[in-house]
Each structure stands twice: as C-alpha cells, then as structure tokens.
Structure 1
Amino acid sequence: MIAANLPFDLQIPLAGVLLALGTWLLLGRLGRRCRSGSLGQTLLLSGRVSLAGTVLLSSAGWWLAGLEVRNLLLTIGVIWTLLRWRGELKQRAEHYAAQLLPHLSSKDQLFLFDVLDKLLTTAALLVVLVMALDLLGVSAGVLITAGGFGAAALGFGARTIVENGLSGLSLYINRPFVLGDTINLPGLSLLGTVEQVGWFYTELRDPERQRIYVPNGVFTSQAIQNLAQIDNRRIWIEFGLSFSDRERVATITQNLEQRLSSLPGVDPAKDQLAHFVGYGESSLQLRLLCYAASSDIHAAWALRQQALLLIGEVVEQAGGSMPFPTRLLIRAPNAKDHP
C-alpha cells in the first residue's frame, strides 16, 4: 500500500532496494542449505555481493539515467558475477574438481576443471563483446562486413592464430595429454611436464625447471609421446665381457635370466632376457632386457640399479671380467723424451 501511494520515480529505487535485499537473503538461505564447503554453497555465497549489488545499482541507474544505463549496469553485473565465480574456482580447483568429477583421476579432474575455467572466461568476454556492439549500435550488415575483413586478415597473417586456437580446442576434445602429464616431442627435442593448456599456447616445465611455451599448432603437426601413459618401463642394459670369456657367455646369460625374476619390481609377465649380441672393438657385447612392474620412473631407476649389480655379481661368480678400452703407445727408436 505504501509503494502504491509513492510517485513512480520513487517506486523504482525502493523496489530495487527491496529486490536487492531479497536477493541477498535468498542466496544466503540457499547457500546455508547446501553442504558445507560444496561448490554450490561457494557459488551462491560468493555471488551474493555481485548479484545483489547489480540489482541495487541497475535500479539506481534506471531511476537516475534511464533504461540504457540500467541495461549497461546489468551487463556489468553479469560479468562481475562470472569473474567472481571464476576466482573462487581457481582458488580451490583441486577441491572442487574432486567434488564434481569423483570418478576420474586427479589429472583428468584438473584438466576438465580447466576447461570450465576457460568457458567462464569466454562467457564473460562474449558478454562484453555483445554489450559493446549494442552500445555502438552495430547492425548485422556491419558484422557481415567485419567478417569479410576477418577473412582477408586470415589470408594475410592471422592463419597461425586461428590454427593455434583450433588446435587448442582439439586438445580439449581429444585430450592426448592432461595437466601434470610429462610429454616428449621427438621432432623438436622437447621434454616437459604440462602445467597449463591455453587456447593458443601450452605451458611446459622442462627437467631444468625452465618454462616452455609451445604453440598449440605444433601438436597437430608433431608426434607426441605421453610418458605418463607408459604402463611398464623398459630396462635395457648393454655390457661387455673379455674376449677370453667367450666360453662363459652361455653360463652368464642363463644365470642372468634365471635370477632376473627374483629382483624386486620386475614384471614377471614380460620378457626377461639376456643375450650375446656381437663382437665389439674391445669386448664381447651382451644385452640384458626386462620391464619394471609399474610406470613409476623412480621404481624403474631402482630396478636398473639392482640389475646392474646383478650383472656384476653373475659375471664375477662365473669367473669372467669386464674389460675397458686400452691403448698401447709404441715409442719410436731413439725418440727423445719431451716434458
């Protein structure tokens, strides 16, 4: 009754204050009903300030300056809310990713959560673009003309940008690797751990802890080795015996194959081999092959160490020896010594 007796100019700000207060109370009530620490509660409570503030400011703008200002403030409020949500998601990405995608691995959770982050950013940019076009009064004909200029720009130099952008989208769809994977690009001699996948560049961290920014277009034209997807790591060791130990080769290789399975960390379902493979310049060349039971690089290093110690032990027990390259210096007759 009181609002009905007020002039129309005063009804607008009063309705805005009441609607903003109602929005604040409603979001708070809904947020308290959600499970503590859940993503829903976080989004509802973090959006109270921006949504209630948007309602209040847009009603004030409508009251003071008209519908155009109100629409502008509403658009700014939507962008404000999206950016606040994005900040909340990035702050506790691992926690919320585990809530939303509990059946996926932690790497896949972070990867898909990164997609959600980029979608929110893209949505905010699109809202800004639409708002800017609306304020400028851009018509459909202008957009078509701009598309023609865009095609020309593509032909004169934007091809690489578009290629990297489309390749970035392909990485999100096909997922040859995810955040945290270690990948190798043999064609470029690049090895690193994936720390971020952007629309145009992917950020790697190499073994020297240096950051490498790789254009996404590279991944559509180069072979990629995803070392994180290795099921078993191969242990391949080449060693030599003295030429005088040729009769001991069969005994040494047989003993190695028999004792390989006793090493901790060996995969019993895969090859465990030791062979004589050739005559070297200064030794008989032998090769040992086995596989680690897991993909963990540290376990593979430990297994390799055990295998090297086993080789030395078996060769010593067989009475053999491992030579090293030697050179014989022959002095010319009557040659003088030089300092």
Structure 2
Amino acid sequence: MKLEQLWADLEAMQAEAGWLTEVIVVAAVILTANFALSLLLNRLYVKSQATTNPWDDAIIDALRKPLALLVWIIGIAFAIYIVHSKTQATILEAAGPIRNVGIIACFAWFLIRFIKGVEKNVIERRQQIGMAVDKVTVDALGKVLRVSVIIIATLVTLQTLGFSISGVLAFGGIGGLAVGLAAKDLLANFFGGLMIYLDRPFTIGDTVRSPDRNIEGTVEHIGWRLTHIRTPDKRPLYVPNAVFTTITVENTSRMSHRHINEIIGIRYSDLDKMQPIVTAIRELLSQQPGIDTSQKMMVNFTSFGPSSLDILVHAFTFTTEQADFQNLKQEILLGIADIIARHGAEIAFPTTTVHLPDAVILKETRGTG
C-alpha cells in the first residue's frame, strides 16, 4: 500500500510539473517574441525616418506598444488555457472573453496612435518644406477619427461580450435625449467648436476681438469645449465655444490693410493757409512708402468745428502689424504737425471767445486794503 501511494504521489507531481513547465515555456516564448519584435520595429523605425512618407514611420511607431501588449495578452491567455485544461477551475473560463476584449483594445490603441502619428508627421513635413498647413483642420480631423475609433471599438466589445448592439443603440437614443437635456450647455459648446472647425473664422495664432464682449487676444488653442485666448496683457482667457455662435468676431490677423482716420484742427485765424496745408499733407501721404495709394485716400477740409477748422486725413497702410502701424502713424502725424508749422499755422485746441456788446465797459476793480 505504501508503494502504491508513493507511486500515485509521484505521478501527480509529474503531471503538475508538466503543465507548470508548459507555462514557463510560454512565458519564455512571450519574452523572446517581445524582444525580437522590439529590435525589428526599432530598426524599421530608423529606416522609415529617412523617407518623406508620413505613413510608414507613423505605422511602425504606432505598432510598438500595442503589439507588445498583444503578445502578452495572447501568451497569457494561452497559459491560462493550459492551466484550465489541467485544473478545470471555473474562474479561468473568463480568460476567453477577456482575451477578446484585450485584442480589440490593442487594435483600437494602435489606430489611435497611428492617427496621432500621421497628424504630427503631416504638420512637421509640410512645415519643413515651407508649405502652408491648417493645424486647426488637421487637429479637428484627428479628433473626429479618434472618437470614431473609440465608439466603434466600444460597440464591437459589447457585441463580443454578448450584448445586442441594436438594444444598446436603442438605449443610447433614450439616454442621449436625457443627457442632451441635462448637458445642453456642454453640447452647445461642442457644436460651437464644430462650427469653428468648419467655418474657420479664426485659427490658432490669429488675433481676434469682439465688439460685443470683452474678448481680445491671440488664439492659442481651440478645443471641443473651450477656446484659449491670450489677452494683450498676457492673461489667459478661456471662452466657451458656444459664445462664438452668438457674437461678432473680428479677426485682425486677416486684415488686408490698417486704417488711418484722423481729424486735424487748425485755428480759425489760419483759414487763408488751409489750401496749401491740405495740398502738402496730400503730397506727404502720396510719397509715404507705407501708404497704399491704390486704396481710397482723402485729405480734405471738412468742417468748421467749435474751436477749429477740421481737416480729415483718411488713408490705408500696407502693414497690418500693430507695432509697425503705430510707428508709421506716428511718423505721419509728426509730418503733418511739421507742415502746419512751416506754413505759419498752429494746431487748434479748445478755446472760448466771449463777445460783449459795445455798451459794456469792463472796469478794473482793485480791492481796498
């Protein structure tokens, strides 16, 4: 009896050692496969960097981490299958569905990384060769594609786990109505961001302002909910996208010209000098290289003001950059002041003249000590 019991124990140990050895072999294969794939992908990535094609290096870089995880998922699932065939443990039956979900997740992860890689490469390659690229459009397309991948992967996962997609979609319709009512502001911001991407009233780097709201600055980021603007005094301003659907927005970065529109007043006593002053100012603007003479340019005596004779100076500059425009405008205004002085006139300032009847005599009144 003792020999029979000992023999049975030896057979049990041998059987246990057998599946344990198989699991160890599977683990070794996983490590070897990951190491080999890592070396192969690294070499392919280095070679793909030398090409101008934005797709090849994006595919290889996107494969690295998801492929390594996929090897581990398949290897571990196979090892669990070995253990389950020997032990018949019920809990190990969940390995199959988990493996399927992991494979779907790896594939979705790869697609998301691939989309990000292509988005980055397209922008970088076009900038390197000096081609214009609309970063906002590229970013919008990337976001839409990534969201689509996540939605499809979620539906496929639910189908794999045994859920009915038609039932999920029906529930989603009812749930979507409830969510829409509860989060209408969030949805308004989402669709506002979508309209910005489609209509493109501004893009990243543009300087914008709104006469309807206290909004002015440079656009730094356009998200699905908020647009980040850096104000002239360097404060960050976060504007909900829904706001842009209800206000007027001026994009000063897309100006073709800047406008000089000034009223210059001279004294009433200098009326006889008005015509030569107007002519000289008109010649000053015509000879100024920063003024676009093909646009409407006006220098005219326009009105008798309360305390001055008013001259309208109306012209357009080539430059649209704020600092350059202010320097040019300063140069022109100083030139106008010099013209007025050379003609013996003076720039008027608010004065009041009191006319008294001839019968009124002003007497000096001295105080008595």
Q: Please point out which of 220, 232, 241 is paired with 1:195.
A: 220
With 118-127 and 158-167 compared, the bigger mean Cα shift is at 118-127
> In structure 2, do the counterparts of structure 1 residues 40 and 31 end up closer, same or farther at CA, with 3 Å as the change threshold?
farther
Instruction: Decide whether aligned partners of structure 1 residues 308 and 302 sit closer, same or farther in structure 2, where only a CA change above 3 A counts.
Output: same
Task: Provide closer, same or farther for how the CA distance between residues 112 and 335 of structure 1 changes in structure 2, counting only shifts above 3 A.
Answer: farther
Write the mapping of 1:137-156 to structure 2, written as runs, cut at 5 A: 138-139=163-164, 140-154=166-180, 156=181
1:292 Cα deviation from its structure 2 partner: 1.0
Question: Alpha carbons of 1:328 and 1:260: their partners in 2 closer, same or farther (altered >3 Å)?
Answer: closer
- Distance change >3 Å, CA 224–CA 119, structure 1 → 2: same
Partner in structure 2 of residue 57 of structure 1: 72
Which SS does the other structure have where 1:34 is aligned? Answer: helix
1:24 aligns with 2:50: no
Does the 8 A contact of 1:276 with 1:287 survive in 2? Answer: yes
Structure 1's 192 and 133: CA in aligned 2 closer, same or farther, altered over 3 A? farther
2:83 is the counterpart of 1:69: no
**Structure-2 separation of matches of 1:327 and 1:77:** 84
- Structure 2 stretches of 5 or more lacking a match? 1-17, 81-91, 355-362
Amino acid at match of 1:170: M
* Counterpart residue number, 2:83: none
Residues in 2 aligned to 1:221 and 1:184: alpha-carbon distance in whole angstroms: 14
- Give the TM-score normalised by the residue count of structure 2: 0.74
Q: CA deviation at 1:161?
A: 2.0
Tell me the SS of whatever aligns to 1:187. coil
My pick for the range that moved more, 239-248 or 279-288, is: 279-288
Q: 1:55 to 1:237 in 2, by over 3 A?
A: same
Letter in 2 for 1:273: M
Q: Quick one: which of 330, 340, 344 aligns to 1:315?
A: 340
1:175 maps onto 2:189 in alignment: no
Separation (CA, whole Å) in 2 of partners of 1:20 and 1:116: 33
- Superposed, which structure 2 residues align to 1:142-291 within 5 Å? 142-154=168-180, 156-291=181-316
Does the CA contact (< 8 Å) of 1:264 and 1:303 recur in 2? Answer: no
Please name the residue that 1:3 is paired with: none
RMSD of aligned alpha carbons:
3.7
Q: Report deviation, 1:22.
A: 5.8
The correspondence for 1:36, drawn from 30, 50, 53, is: 50
Residue 181 (structure 1) shift: 0.6
Instruction: Note closer, same or farther for the CA distance 1:69–1:165 as it changes in structure 2 (3 Å cut).
Output: same
Q: What's the secondary structure of 2:257's corresponding residue? A: coil
Q: Map Cα deviations across residues 45-70 of structure 1 (whole Å, 9 max, x no partner).
A: 53353033122211123222532222
Q: Percent identity?
A: 24
Tell me how far 1:335 sits from its aligned partner: 11
Q: Distance in 2 between matches of 1:298 and 1:86?
A: 40
Q: Which amino acid aligns with 1:53?
A: A
Deviations 1:205-264 (A, max 9, x none): 111111112121222222221111101111122221111112211211111111212223
Instruction: Report whether the alignment pairs 1:46 with 2:61.
Output: yes
Query: What is the one-letter code of the residue matched to 2:305?
Result: G
CA–CA separation in structure 1 for the residues paired with 2:161 and 2:186: 27
3-state SS in 2 of match to 1:302: helix
Q: Kindly indicate whether the alpha-carbon contact (under 8 Å) linking 1:265 and 1:293 is maintained by their aligned counterparts in 2.
A: yes
How far off its partner does 1:20 sit? Answer: 4.3
Give 1:143's aligned amino acid. Answer: L
Say if 2:263 and 2:310, in contact at 8 Å, map to a contact too: yes
1:118 and 2:132 are equivalent in the alignment? no
**Which moved further from structure 2: 26-35 or 160-169?**
26-35
Q: Which amino acid aligns with 1:73?
A: G
The residue type paired with residue 59 of structure 1 is I
Q: Quick one: structure 1 residues 161 and 87, their matched pair in 2 at CA, closer, same or farther if it must change by over 3 Å? A: same
Partner of 1:265, secondary structure, is coil
CA distance in 2, matches of 1:210, 1:110: 23
Distance 1:235 1:153 in 2: 52
Secondary structure at the aligned position of 2:287 is classed as: coil
Work out the CA distance in 2 between the residues paired with 1:88 and 1:292.
42
TM-score, normalised by the number of residues in structure 1:
0.80
Cross-structure match for 2:322: 297
The Cα of 1:280 is off from its aligned counterpart by 2.4
Distance 1:89 1:264 in 2: 45
Q: Is the 8 A contact 1:194 1:203 kept in 2?
A: yes
| Residue type at the aligned position of 2:174 | G
Q: Structure 1 216/290 Cα, relative in aligned 2: closer, same or farther at 3 Å? A: same
